[in-house]
Amino acid sequence: LDGAVLVTGGAGYIGSHAVLALLDAGHRVVVIDNLTTGFAWAVDRRATLIQGNIEDDGLVRAALRDHDVRAIMHFAGSIIVPESVTDPLKYYRNNTVASRALLESAVVCGVRHFIFSSTAATYGTPEKVPVSEGDPTVPINPYGTSKLMTEIMLRDVAAAHPINYCALRYFNVAGADPEGRTGQSTAGATHLIKIAVEAATGKRETVGVFGTDYDTPDGTGVRDYIHVSDLAAAHVAALDLLVAQPARSHVLNAGYGRGFSVLEVLDAVDRVTNMKLERVVQGRRPGDAGALVADNRAILATLDWKPARDDLDMIVRDALAWERALQQRS
């Protein structure tokens, strides 16, 4: 790339993996992160870290100009579905309003390419599974709505200005860098695999199973778990495509196209640890869909990318290794 890549939220879970993937591919990387949930140590030393908010136009525009930024990967935001139900305005501020400010800075400073962390939560409860990009987007929680609103802004901005974008609709991201350089580190986990590996390492006693009466084979929620390093590689491939075809933009599901239930995930953790997690059946969690699985034909056909780590046990092993390293650290 003729210029640098700005990674917002590059000190966070997925962002720190994307920073590694970009650097390993030879890109120059600048990170902006306010470090509310991210960690400075999670940002590889080869990248430049600027602490600040993406709504801070002065800070962002100076960074875009000083570092000759050509492309933005936008990870910064709030990501917890149940929290978005109880505190929706936080999600409209941190996701929608902040993205609007960042986009305006991108346009003003002539940034050419924009890659956005979107989510399968934009679909809500899909009419059919696997769900494809052209299916209706009817979010069932403010998190999904806040991200969909940004997709809509991107569509309109790309039609009006010389910028193209790729919105990647993430399914369930899990695992950690196989080389142990970064992983999911934020306290107060709500995501299933993180919670399960915390339980497996003695950080918590039990794992709650949120709902056993969904319309799924075993009644528990089914999700499409994708390894974070595969997802990071998809971002680099998306950047390559946006550069090669500057007149085209894309909305792509980022998943493997197969689902595992909550019980299947917990069984995988048991297999990997050779222990037995204690499961506690609880009621449904507000805002949760029953099954969410990607139709991933579009991303496979569009990007020069193939899943390399489509293996639930591998995802769990990498998540577990990081969890152990993280607990050693503190």
Of 178 and 219, CB closest to ligand UDP: 219
Radius of gyration of the chain (CA): 19
Q: Is 258 in the site for ligand UDP (CB under 6 A)?
A: no
Asked if 279 is part of the footprint of ligand UDP (rule: CB under 6 A), the reply reads no
* Residue 195 binds ligand UDP (CB under 6 A): yes
Report whether 36 contacts 55 (CB < 8 A): no
| Contact pick of 1, 49, 81, 303 for ligand UDP (by CB under 6 A) | 81
Q: According to the binding rule CB under 6 A, does residue 14 interact with ligand UDP?
A: no
Binding region for ligand UDP (CB under 6 A) out of 11-19, 34-42, 152-160, 184-192: 184-192
Contact stretch for ligand UDP (CB under 6 A) within 4-12, 32-40, 159-167, 191-199: 191-199
Specify whether the CB–CB gap between 71 and 112 falls below 8 A: yes
Taking CB under 6 A as the rule, does residue 37 contact ligand UDP? Answer: no
Q: Are 176 and 318 in contact (CB under 8 A)?
A: yes
- Part of the chain binding ligand UDP (CB under 6 A), chosen from 6-14, 56-64, 147-155, 207-215: 207-215
The two tokens of residue 308 are 């390399």
At 118, give phi and psi (nearest 5°). -100, -170
Under DSSP, the state recorded for 37 is S
Q: Which stretch binds ligand UDP (CB under 6 A): 7-15, 28-36, 151-159, 189-197?
A: 189-197
323 binds ligand UDP (CB under 6 A): no
Q: How far apart are CA 325 and CA 330, in angstroms?
A: 9
Integer Cα distance of 214 and 259 in angstroms: 14
Note whether 221 binds ligand UDP by CB under 6 A.
yes
Phi/psi region, residue 272 (left: phi>0; alpha: psi -120 to 50; beta: rest), is alpha
299 near ligand UDP, judged by CB under 6 A:
no
In this structure, the number of other CB atoms found within 10 A of the CB of residue 151 comes to 18
**Catalytic machinery residues:** 143
Q: Confirm or reject binding of residue 207 to ligand UDP (CB under 6 A).
A: yes
| Cβ-based neighbours of 225, under 8 Å, separated by 6 or more | 171, 172, 173, 174, 193, 256, 260, 265, 312, 315
Among 64, 111, 192, 200, binds ligand UDP (CB under 6 A): 192
Question: Residue 210, interface with ligand UDP (CB under 6 A)?
Answer: yes
Note whether 204 binds ligand UDP by CB under 6 A: no
Beta pairing partners, 254? 170
Query: What is the contact surface with ligand UDP in residues (CB under 6 A)?
Result: 81, 172, 190-192, 195, 207-211, 221, 223, 262, 285, 288
